[in-house]
Amino acid sequence: MSGTFKAWWASDVDGKAKVELSEVADGDLPADEVTVGVKYSTINYKDGMAVQGNINKIMRSLPMAPGIDYAGIVEASDSGKFSVGDEVVLTGWGVGEAVSGGLSQRARAKADWLVKKPEGLSLQQTMAIGTAGFTAMMSVLALEDASVKPGDGDVIVTGAAGGVGSVAVALLASLGYSVAASTGRESEHDYLKGLGASSIVPRSELSEPGRPLGRETWAGGIDTVG
């Protein structure tokens, strides 16, 4: 394992974040227990904000690499939970925000932040699903926990053409739910129907002032917009 690696590295230049492909030293990574050779990461909304000038101060501890998730192979470990060669996945925990993230050939993390790659998935597939897919699946599981079942009525998904929304539409449709997909982009209607949406709800319809008390319209919802 060499002492340097390449990363999209964000530095403070005259009070602004400058992100460029750089040669980085191991000593620039946090002093945590597990070192991971990163094979795949995804570009999430927060990552887009980070690399476009650190909008809203997404990265709070420069210098660092952006990237809120990654999958890779353990290169060194001071933890009994993981051994060299283990395939691992990480999402969240402030990675890419408070500590250096996954848009890098190497990362270092606390052992509690990592999970072993699920059987039946490749490292590439875990990041094809990524944080967006994980979030969408957690939302679907929450609906199931609330006893919302296929046949109870339409389930609405807001921001349906986005990362979390589009995966949520596909998951719900594959499970037999009738999905009402909300978007403000007419150009995405065919895409959403191809994912399995039963109907399209214009975003403008949801932004209009509602009555104090209306009839129940949907059996449940996944709100990715807020």
Residues 106 and 161 occupy one common structural domain: no
Residues 147 and 71 occupy one common structural domain: no
What pLDDT, on a 0 to 100 scale, did the predictor assign at position 73?
98
Residues 82 and 161 occupy one common structural domain: no
d(CA 163, CA 224): 9
Residues 171 and 86 occupy one common structural domain: no
Average pLDDT by consecutive 10-residue portion of the chain (226 residues)?
88 86 93 96 91 84 94 96 97 94 97 96 96 96 97 96 96 98 95 97 83 80 91
Residue 206 maps to which CATH number? 3.40.50.720
Residues 17 and 104 occupy one common structural domain: yes
Residues 11 and 47 occupy one common structural domain: yes
**Which structural domain, as residue segments, surrounds residue 215?**
125-223
Domain boundary at 63, 98, 117, which?
Answer: 117
For residue 186, what are its two tokens? 């007419």
The DSSP secondary-structure symbol of 51 reads H
Residues 110 and 157 occupy one common structural domain: no
Radius of gyration of the chain from its Cα atoms, rounded to whole angstroms: 20
What pLDDT, on a 0 to 100 scale, did the predictor assign at position 214?
66
Residues 105 and 11 occupy one common structural domain: yes
Residues 96 and 182 occupy one common structural domain: no
Residues 155 and 202 occupy one common structural domain: yes
d(CA 161, CA 116): 30
C-alpha triplet 23, 1, 5: angle, nearest 5°: 10
What pLDDT, on a 0 to 100 scale, did the predictor assign at position 140?
98
Residue 103 maps to which CATH number? 3.90.180.10
What pLDDT, on a 0 to 100 scale, did the predictor assign at position 161?
95
For residue 182, what are its two tokens? 């909300």
User: Which residues are within 8 A (CB) of 206 and not within 5 positions of it... i.e. 6 or more apart?
Assistant: 158, 182
Residues 12 and 110 occupy one common structural domain: yes
Domain boundary at 69, 101, 117, which?
Answer: 117
Residues 65 and 164 occupy one common structural domain: no
Number of folded domains in the chain?
2
What is the pTM (predicted TM-score) of this model? Answer: 0.83
Burial track 26-39 (b if 16+ CB lie within 10 A, e otherwise): eebbeebbbbbbbb
For residue 69, what are its two tokens? 């998730």
Domain boundary at 79, 97, 117, which?
Answer: 117
